[in-house]
């Protein structure tokens, strides 16, 4: 189903007309109130299923309301139900596929997002300097919107984006505003409440003249914990690249190199190794802890 244009305006208008709060709407639909907030902000478009449920709920307050009404121009919708049209700028809905993904990960975000909050160090190779390992330092934390924010910097680059726990893995979408490069990271997640090491793969456009698409192994190690004070944590993040703190549960330099530069492909497969670059459950270095000695 195509997204409904200006849905945040229409939803806000109908909620006010029905005297429904975000909290009450979330309760009646059985969804998190932060998801309703993202619908109203236009960052997520409801799935077809949730849009139908919204329509059914609003029909109890606006007789005759149906799914097709979301696709009316906002002015026509207001006129149909004798509602005053709000004077706010138009908001375009989020791209529907991303919106559906965001809804799909909502449960994992709520249950597992906090496990990845903290300060981190990456270890990764470079297409331009293949013999060198580079470290980025960053912060992962939940925001008031319910999203998990990621900021990383190092080697003169600056990455910002979001992390999504999903189906036992974590997916991170970043943008390097200096190198003007999109970055996608996928790591094997952890089951314990405090992630310590994340083993994964990074895909990016290299900074060579051809902007070569490339994928590499990546290790991410926790170097500290958040205080919960936003200003203080921001100050700590700004100092990480200079202080270069060591991991709290270090993998070790030699083990990192062995993992980053491991072989894959036909020759590896012929010797019983990996045919393709992957992070299998059997050899993943991802691990977490309870904070009381239990690791795994």
Q: Is residue 48 part of a domain?
A: yes
The pLDDT assigned to 155 comes to: 79
The number of folded domains in the chain is 2
If we measure between CA atoms, which residue out of 137, 122, 159, 158 comes closest to residue 259?
A: 122
Please check whether residues 173 and 220 belong to one and the same domain.
Answer: yes
Could you tell me if residue 26 is inside a domain?
Answer: yes
Which residues, in sequence order, are CB contacts of 197 under 8 Å at separation 6+? 219, 220, 221, 222, 247, 249, 251, 285, 286, 287
pTM confidence score: 0.69
Same-domain pairing of 190 and 248 = yes
Q: Residue 293 half-sphere exposure, CB side, CA atoms within 13 Å? A: 0
- Per the structure, the complete domain to which residue 258 belongs is given by 111-289
The answer to the question of residue 84 being in a domain is yes
CA distances from 116 to 34, 150, 164, 173, 221 (A): 19, 10, 10, 15, 11
Distance CA 76, CA 146 (A): 33
DSSP lists the bridge partners of residue 163 as: 148, 172
Q: Are 147 and 87 in a shared domain?
A: no
Share of the chain above pLDDT 70, in %: 93
Residues 94 and 125 both lie in one domain: no
Asked which of 150-154, 232-236, 288-292 is least confident by mean pLDDT, the reply is 288-292
Q: Which residue has the tokens 């190690």?
A: 221
Using the 3D structure, point to which of 104, 133, 160 is the last residue of a domain.
104
Structure confidence by residue, pLDDT tens digits, 28-63: 999 888 888 888 887 788 888 899 999 999 999 999
What is d(CA 102, CA 45) in angstroms, rounded to the nearest whole number? 9
Q: What distance in Å separates the CA atoms of residue 239 and residue 64, rounded to the nearest whole number?
A: 58
Question: Which residue shows structure tokens 């799909």?
Answer: 104
Residue 118 shares a structural domain with residue 85: no
- Containing H/E element for 138? strand 137-142
Phi, psi of 181 (to 5 degrees): -130, 130
Over residues 105-163, the pLDDT tens digits come to: 888 988 899 999 999 999 999 888 888 899 999 999 998 777 899 999 987 888 999 99
């Amino acid at each position: 189903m195509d997204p409904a244009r200006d849905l945040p305006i229409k939803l806000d208008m109908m909620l006010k007309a029905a005297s429904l709060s975000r909290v009450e709407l979330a309760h009646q639909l059985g969804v998190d109130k932060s998801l309703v907030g993202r619908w109203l902000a236009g960052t997520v478009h409801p799935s077809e299923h949730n849009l139908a449920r919204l329509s059914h709920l609003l029909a109890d307050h606006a007789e005759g309301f149906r799914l097709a009404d979301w696709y009316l121009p906002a002015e026509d919708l207001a006129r149909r139900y004798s509602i005053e049209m709000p004077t706010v700028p138009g908001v375009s809905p989020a791209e529907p596929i991303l919106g559906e993904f965001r809804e799909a990960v909502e449960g994992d975000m709520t249950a597992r997002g906090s496990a990845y909050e903290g300060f981190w160090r990456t270890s990764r190779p470079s297409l331009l300097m293949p013999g060198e390992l580079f470290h980025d330092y960053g912060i992962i934390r939940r925001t008031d919107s319910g999203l998990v924010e990621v900021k990383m910097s190092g080697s003169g680059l600056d990455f910002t984006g979001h992390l999504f726990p999903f189906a036992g893995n974590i997916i991170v979408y970043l943008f390097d505003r200096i190198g003007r490069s999109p970055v996608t990271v996928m790591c094997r997640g952890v089951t314990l409440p405090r992630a310590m090491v994340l083993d994964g793969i990074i895909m990016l456009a290299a900074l060579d003249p051809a902007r070569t698409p490339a994928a590499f192994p990546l290790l991410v190690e926790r170097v500290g914990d958040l205080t919960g004070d936003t200003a203080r944590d921001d100050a700590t993040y700004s100092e990480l690249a200079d202080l270069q703190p060591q991991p709290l549960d270090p993998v070790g330099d030699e083990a990192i190199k062995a993992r980053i530069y491991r072989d894959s492909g036909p020759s590896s497969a012929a010797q019983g190794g990996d045919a393709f670059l992957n992070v299998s459950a059997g050899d993943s270095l991802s691990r977490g802890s309870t904070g009381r000695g239990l690791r795994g």
